[in-house]
Amino acid sequence: MNIGDVATLSGLPAKTIRYYEDIGLVRPPRGPNGYRRFRESDLHKLNFLGRARSLGFSIEECRGLLALYEDEGRASADVKRIARDHLREIDRKIDELAEMRRTLGELVEACSGDHRPNCPILTDLARMPKPRC
């Protein structure tokens, strides 16, 4: 399979697949014309990467997961630890965004949104920062 084929099948852009090769996540052999020739196993890895990335795992986490995926002697505990750490990170981000959402939601509510200059959003933004706790 050429890169275009695996791009279609995996849903990843060809550019991204080349990038993944660059950083050593996949290593497709080359044909005599210099084209990358992807095997089924390469396609599996690309699917794996696409899915892992879509769940928010970083490239380095993906590298670790991929190594475990390929390691028949792995312990599922190792996989679970990576996933649980990532889950905590997701929770942290959700909390952070929820806090922004709360604050900003209040401000938007309070703003009349008319032709006049007076605006509680700007008033809030111009606040002094709390001296660090």
Q: Which residues bind DNA (CB under 7 A)?
A: 2-5, 7, 13-16, 18-19, 31-36, 53, 58-60
**Residue 3 or 52 with smaller CB distance to its own copies:** 52
CA–CA separation, 21 and 17 (whole Å):
6
**Residue 63 or 120 with smaller CB distance to DNA:** 63
CA–CA separation, 63 and 79 (whole Å):
12
* Least CB distance to DNA at residue 72 (A): 26
Residue with tokens 């209040």: 106
* Least CB distance to its own copies at residue 50 (A): 6
**CB within 8 A of 122, min separation 6: which ones?**
none
